[in-house]
Amino acid sequence: MAAHTAVPVRVNRWVILAGFALLTACTQLLWLAYAPITTQTHQIMRVSEGAVGDLAGIFPLVYVILALPAGRWLDARFGQALGLGAALTGAGGLVRLAGPSSYGWAMAGQVMIAAGQPLVLNSITKVAARYFPTRERTAAISIGSVALFAGILAAVLSGGPLLHAGGLTLLLWVQAAVAALAAVWVLAAVRTPAAFTGDPSVAVSLRWLRGDRFMWVLAGLLFIGMGVFNAVATWLDAILTHFGHGGASGYLIAVMTVGGIAGGALLPGIVARRDQRRGMLEIAVVVTAVAFALMAGVHNPVSDGAALFVAGFFLLAGLPVVLDWSELHAGPERAGAAAGFLLLAGNLGGVILVLIIQGLIGNPYLSLGVLSVMGLLGLALATRLPARTSAGAGNPGGPGNADGSGGSAGPREAGTATKGE
């Protein structure tokens, strides 16, 4: 009977992942709905540009508050937690339609979407662990992570054309329709029983994170990686304006995001097969440091585009690599808490680095210098990770060594079969 019930789960796992990836992309699409059209939105809603910025600015703040509780709930009651995240995302998109030109309705919808976002994004590793055999989990995590960048790119590229074609009403209708489709898809998908249930004896708790040096190092890397990307997305226009190229910022952010999509699709599987996760993360932060140093010295949109594409290719690909490594280290039973902890750090980095660059924005060289130095700090962190994930060095049923030494092997690296595979 167990073998019979596992077959449909194995068959439809990619359908489940497709719906989840669409929902993941929608969280980013709705988050940044107003960001590419800030000037037009403040005129339509008759509020300040700063108030329009708050429609996106609340997201990292809400994430920092809800990340750990959301991760713990996902580990304990996955279907309920992800189902609520899907419902909040879809409902938030629809709420904004109650008054497309109303700031109050816009904020109400954004708050709902922001509350659902941790429940959705913290599920990236959980979906992979529940529905995919061990040999396919790196690919599943990569797809879920790349969907984030695809959603960002869709928001950046579609905002202006949709506004021009039909105003805020058309833009919000299109986004609401896609979000509602994704929400219904995922609500149906979470009814599918897990093919790989993990070890039920592992306690769902957050206490293991306190002394786990390995997880804190990964968190530091995401603090830097996501923080740098958010700072670039927020302040690149102001930085390039000092060099006379402010109009190229939207295109360059898109180029960096495309680089991230390419890197996220290609690199995680390669580095996992070769057991070169630390090496890839070291390259990512070094490339980041060099890219922003180059931008400070050469003021040309073409060279800036090349530098940002390469930086995005490696830096943004670090997200799926880190998430994959965290699931391997923590085990599927604690993957939600691990992802929540890491993404909390990433969002906190986004808030803090954006504020730091804001204070330095009058000096573009200093701003770019800080971004470059953050890459060097990331290198110092990356070198503290184990060089390889050695088989049998960790605990397949839970977190690896608390200090991160000797790697953090799980079933994938040890080559052991997982129940239901």
Tens of pLDDT along 186-197?
Answer: 999 988 888 877
Q: Is residue 232 part of a domain?
A: yes
Q: Is residue 140 part of a domain?
A: no
| pLDDT band per the 50, 70, 90 thresholds, residue 11 | low
Q: Is residue 141 part of a domain?
A: no
Indicate if 183 and 219 belong to the same structural domain.
no
pLDDT for residue 291 is more than 50:
yes
Tell me the two tokens of residue 222.
């995401």
Q: What is the pTM of this model?
A: 0.85
Alpha helices (runs of H) in 122-212, residue ranges in sequence order:
124-131, 137-189
Indicate if 167 and 258 belong to the same structural domain.
no
Indicate if 107 and 237 belong to the same structural domain.
no
Angle of CA points 9, 129, 131, to nearest 5°: 10
Tell me the two tokens of residue 89.
């995302």
Q: Is residue 202 part of a domain?
A: no
Q: Is residue 361 part of a domain?
A: yes
pLDDT at 390: 52
Indicate if 226 and 355 belong to the same structural domain.
yes
What CATH number corresponds to the domain at position 400? 1.20.1250.20
Indicate if 383 and 357 belong to the same structural domain.
yes
User: What is the distance between the alpha carbons of residues 234 and 357, in angstroms, rounded to a whole number?
Assistant: 9
| pLDDT band per the 50, 70, 90 thresholds, residue 10 | low
- Which range has the worst mean pLDDT, 129-138, 171-180, 207-216, 337-346? 207-216
Indicate if 393 and 345 belong to the same structural domain.
yes
Count of structural domains, the chain: 2
| pLDDT band per the 50, 70, 90 thresholds, residue 391 | very low
Contacts of 140 (CB under 8 A, 6+ apart): 13, 17, 127, 128, 131, 132
Secondary structure (DSSP) of 323-336: HHHHHHHH-GGGHH
User: What is the distance between the alpha carbons of residues 11 and 16, in angstroms, rounded to a whole number?
Assistant: 10
pLDDT at 278: 95
Q: Is residue 374 part of a domain?
A: yes
Contacts of 320 (CB under 8 A, 6+ apart): 138, 141, 142, 144, 145, 146, 264, 268
| pLDDT band per the 50, 70, 90 thresholds, residue 409 | very low
- Which range has the worst mean pLDDT, 30-44, 151-165, 201-215, 283-297? 201-215
Contacts of 85 (CB under 8 A, 6+ apart): 23, 70, 116, 117, 118, 119, 120, 123
Alpha helices (runs of H) in 275-420, residue ranges in sequence order:
277-297, 301-315, 318-330, 335-360, 364-382, 411-414
pLDDT for residue 285 is more than 70:
yes
User: What is the distance between the alpha carbons of residues 393 and 398, in angstroms, rounded to a whole number?
Assistant: 12
pLDDT for residue 282 is more than 90:
yes
Question: Which has the closest alpha carbon to 145: 19, 321, 314?
Answer: 321
Report the half-sphere exposure of 71 (CA within 13 A, side-chain side): 27
Q: Is residue 152 part of a domain?
A: no
Indicate if 117 and 252 belong to the same structural domain.
no
Rounded to a whole number, what is the largest CA-CA distance in the chain?
68
Question: Which has the closest alpha carbon to 45: 231, 233, 172, 180?
Answer: 172
Q: Is residue 421 part of a domain?
A: no
Buried b or exposed e, range 21-33, using 16+ CB within 10 angstroms: bbbbbbbbbbbbb
pLDDT at 389: 75
- Which range has the worst mean pLDDT, 9-13, 127-131, 274-278, 359-363? 9-13
Indicate if 292 and 338 belong to the same structural domain.
yes
Question: Can you tell me the mean pLDDT for 25-38?
Answer: 92
Indicate if 338 and 266 belong to the same structural domain.
yes
Indicate if 254 and 374 belong to the same structural domain.
yes
Q: What is the span of the domain harbouring residue 86?
A: 8-133+157-189
Task: Give the whole-number percent of the chain exceeding pLDDT 70.
Answer: 88
User: What is the distance between the alpha carbons of residues 256 and 287, in angstroms, rounded to a whole number?
Assistant: 13
